[in-house]
Structures are given as C-alpha cells and as structure tokens.
Structure 1
Amino acid sequence: MHMIADNLRFFQTQLAGTSCRLVTVTKTHSVARLQEAYDAGARLFGENKVQEIVAKQPELPADIEWHLIGRLQTNKVKYLAPFVHTIQSIDSLKLLQEIDKQAAKHGRVVRGLLQFHIADEETKSGLSLAEAHEILQSEAYQALRHVQLTGVMGVATNTDREAQLRQEFRELRGYFDQLKAEYFAHQPEFREISMGMSADYLLAIEEGSTLIRVGSAIFGARQYS
C-alpha cells in the first residue's frame, strides 16, 4: 500500500552522502499519487508536458519545485512562466529569449538547463557543444535578465550497455566542465548535471550527476488511461 513512500525512502538512502538530488517524474500520474509522493518527502517534481504540469501545479502544495523535462515549444512558455522552477530542456536561443520575456512579465527569474544530444538515437533532441558556445557568446543571450542557466541535461541512449552509458554520461560531464570554466566560473548557481533515470541512475551518479530523473521506479508502471 505504501509503495510510493517505500520507493522514495529507497532513493533517499541511495542518494545519502552524494551531491545528487532526486527529481520525481510525475508524468501521467494523478494528483493523489503526487500528493502521496509529497507526503513521503518528494519536493522536486518533473513533468514532460506543459498541459499536465499546468493542470497539476495549482492542486498541490506551493513549495514544490516544478521542473519541465520534456520538449518545450516557445508558444507554451507563457503557461509555465508564473511558477516553473527549472526548464531542463532548453535547446535554442529562441527558447531562452521567450523564457526571459515571459518570466519578466511575472517579475521572476526562471532557471534553465541546456539540453545536449548525447545519445546515439536521432529521435533525442539537444544541442551540440558548438551550438551551446554560439548561444553563450551571443549578445542576445548576454542581454537576458529573467532566465538563469544553472547547468546541463542529457538523455542517454536506451541501452543496457554499461560502457556506452558511462561514455555518454562522461561526455555530458565534460560539456558541463567546459562551459563552467569558460562562461560560469564565478557563478556558483551553475552546478547542475541532470542525467540518469530509473534504469541507469547509479552509473549517472558515479559519473557526477546532480539530478536524477526517476518515475517508474517510484510509481511503478505508468498508468496510461
């Protein structure tokens, strides 16, 4: 009966003594199940779809840190701007500019992670290192005041080959280190490496993850209605 609480306790134990935090991925799950996770101590919730995060946010406690982890179209940023904590899936200057514009209307600063393409699957989205440099060197980026980059994110290949996963996590860690040294050396807020999910989080933590995104291992199989 207390599966969610037990699973969360398991992850809290796994993360004890690391610098990694848990993002509880709540997509497709009901507000009641999210409340159960909250009651068991979860505070960072990750959603993939804008309409879901917008529907659930008012129904749940105000101290939840909402993270959007799925693809984000610029025309939907306005719905998130009043409350979202971190947008983990930033993959263009255009998106950064829209987040800045919408967050300004609410007098907020929204945090964001640059999403990199690290998997060998074409369907996964994300930036290359060259594209990230181009964004960060641009005057347009430097003019932004209401969006703050706090790190990087990546989705590894869906494989059980440990060597490949390790290599992809290392690649993302390397991108983080380069950007930190070159653009964010004096910004302690730039510290997040979001990588690792239910199947591969242990490897990700070993390779330096600071945010793991875990859904199925907490809620059990997803409830598709």
Structure 2
Amino acid sequence: MNNLEEQAKIVNATEQRAPQSDMAAASAAMDGVAAAALRSVLQRVQQAVERAGRDSQQIRVVAVSKTKPVSVIRQVYDAGHRFFGENYVQEIVEKAPQLPGDIEWHFIGNLQSNKAKPLLAGVPNLAMVESVDDEKIANHLDRVVGNLGRKRLKVLIQVNTSGEESKSGVEPSACVELAKHVNQNCQNLEFCGLMTIGMLDYSSTPENFKTLANCRSEVCKALGMPEEQCELSMGMSNDFEQAIEMGSTNVRIGSTIFGPREYPKKQ
C-alpha cells in the first residue's frame, strides 16, 4: 500500500524547489497547484486514518484523472504520486503510453466486453480493474489476460450498494456468487476485494459503505479469505474521509486533486 507520510515528504520537497527563470517560475506555480492539492488530500487521509486508529499503509489514494490532459497528470506524478485511475478505455489507452511506466493504473469505469482487449493490450502497467460486475466481463478479462501472456490481473467486484438504476454493479445479494466465480473459474484474475460508489448526494453513503463491509464479510466467509486481505474501494472527493473511517482501503479522488472535470463544449 501507499505510505502517506513518505508521499507527503516527496510532495513537500517538490513544492520547495526554487525556480530558475520566469518561465520556470510560471511552470512551478502550475505544478504547485497540483502538488498542493495532492498534499492536502494526503494530509486529510492521514487525519482520517488517525481518527479511525488505522495504519496509513493500509490506504491507497488513486488520483482519478478523468478528462485531464497528460501534462496535468504529469504534475501530480512529479509530486511523487504513482496511483492513477481512469473511467474510459479510450482515455487511459491514449494517456498511459505518454506517461512513465511505473504508474499503477486503475480502471474504474464500466467496462464493455469488446473493450477488454484494447484496455489490456494498450496499458501494460494496468494494475487493477475495479469494476467487474458480472461473469461475462470477468470471463472476457480472464481470456484476454491469458492470450496476452500477462501476469494475473487484480480485480475488484463492483457492488451497487445504493440500488440506483443509473449505477453499474452487482446486487449485494449476488456478490458472493460472482466472487466465487472469479476466484474459482478465472485463473488469470486475482480477486482482491469489492468496490462501490456512494449516493450522488452523499446523504446515504454511511449505509452504502456499511453494505459493502457486510458484503465483504459474506464473501470472505464463503471463500475462506481473511477480511484484512479483501480490499474495500469506497470513497471519492466528497466522502473519502468518512469512507476511510468506515474501513476503506482504496479511495478514488478526482476533482479535489485535479479540479473540476473539463468536458468538451457542445457545438
């Protein structure tokens, strides 16, 4: 897992570099915005960890760079961060080759079966797919990983804990069977845990997070897996501190680090 204290030191050191020219000063100022935002997030994560009496090494911060250009992602990378996430296959396939290979990419969006091969072939340093929500996509990923000769791919099962039709994810009552399928029938995949997205208005996230934690207990019992080895990916920009206090091991933070998403204007 990510060492938050070490990461904060790297970010501080990056911010304190002295610019050597006006142009360098302008560039450093731009870098400083991203680095300062990352540092603030890491500090808030550390505080949430301390409130919960947890170990900071148990928490991974995934910087979600959806709609952001490679230059902005590079600023956060240069500040010492290595975990990044994307929602769309086209974006991650375009961005990953332009950035250092030691980045650990997470795919966190809905994944269609016909996009599994482009994703895995285009992003050799894809560390995890967090959004497996049925047997079909699990089977496709399993076959593609095997055909490409990649090492086992880490996956999380996405659970729709809010019951919203707009959200992807398996129903909580079906997560055990899907976890069993991945664990027993997909030899090229490594089941690592569960993921959820809280309510959009964040008014019911405690219930959503409790539901995911309950799902983990059921899955671990069924698989004979220690709960501490089963990740919980929950918490985003508006609720990551609460998620950490409720047991999250993986928080996905976009706008708080990168600023508002930038969608193309419609003609």
Establish whether TM, by shorter chain, passes 0.5.
yes
- Taking the aligned partners of 1:49 and 1:55, their CA distance within structure 2 comes to 10
Give 1:197 deviation, angstroms: 0.5
Give 1:185 deviation, angstroms: 1.4
Give 1:51 deviation, angstroms: 0.5
- Taking the aligned partners of 1:159 and 1:105, their CA distance within structure 2 comes to 42
Give 1:106 deviation, angstroms: 2.2
Which residue of the partner structure matches residue 251 of structure 2?
212
Q: Which runs of 4+ in 1 moved over 4 A?
A: none
Which residue of the partner structure matches residue 27 of structure 1?
66
Unpaired stretches in structure 1, ≥5 consecutive residues: none
Q: Deviations over 1:164-196 (max 9, x none)?
A: 2111111111111221222151697x4211000
Alignment map for 1:1-225 (pairs within 5 Å):
1=29, 2-16=32-46, 17-18=55-56, 19-82=58-121, 83=124, 84-108=126-150, 109-138=152-181, 142-161=184-203, 164-185=204-225, 190-225=229-264
- Taking a change above 3 Å as real, the CA distance of residues 186 and 159 of structure 1, as seen in their structure-2 partners, is closer
Give 1:107 deviation, angstroms: 1.9
- Taking the aligned partners of 2:180 and 2:209, their CA distance within structure 1 comes to 25
- Taking the aligned partners of 1:41 and 1:137, their CA distance within structure 2 comes to 37
Q: Deviations over 1:96-132 (max 9, x none)?
A: 1110100112222111100000124220111123322
The TM-score, its normalising length taken from structure 1, stands at 0.92
Deviates more, 1:28-37 or 1:124-133: 124-133
Aligned residues: 221
- Taking the aligned partners of 1:214 and 1:137, their CA distance within structure 2 comes to 29
Deviates more, 1:174-183 or 1:86-95: 174-183
- Taking a change above 3 Å as real, the CA distance of residues 185 and 55 of structure 1, as seen in their structure-2 partners, is same
Deviates more, 1:7-16 or 1:95-104: 7-16
Q: Secondary structure at the match of 2:90?
A: helix
- Taking the aligned partners of 1:210 and 1:141, their CA distance within structure 2 comes to 20
The TM-score, its normalising length taken from structure 2, stands at 0.78
- Taking the aligned partners of 2:226 and 2:248, their CA distance within structure 1 comes to 21
Give 1:136 deviation, angstroms: 3.8
Point out the structure with the larger strand share. 1
- Taking a change above 3 Å as real, the CA distance of residues 219 and 179 of structure 1, as seen in their structure-2 partners, is same
Give 1:79 deviation, angstroms: 1.2
Q: Secondary structure at the match of 2:168?
A: coil
Matched-pair contact (CA < 8 Å) for 1:78–1:102:
yes
Point out the structure with the larger helix share. 2
- Taking the aligned partners of 1:68 and 1:171, their CA distance within structure 2 comes to 23
- Taking a change above 3 Å as real, the CA distance of residues 129 and 136 of structure 1, as seen in their structure-2 partners, is same
Q: Secondary structure at the match of 2:146?
A: helix
Q: Secondary structure at the match of 1:85?
A: strand
Matched-pair contact (CA < 8 Å) for 2:161–2:172:
no
- Taking the aligned partners of 2:82 and 2:224, their CA distance within structure 1 comes to 27
Unpaired stretches in structure 2, ≥5 consecutive residues: 1-28, 47-54
Matched-pair contact (CA < 8 Å) for 1:97–1:141:
no
Matched-pair contact (CA < 8 Å) for 1:5–1:36:
yes
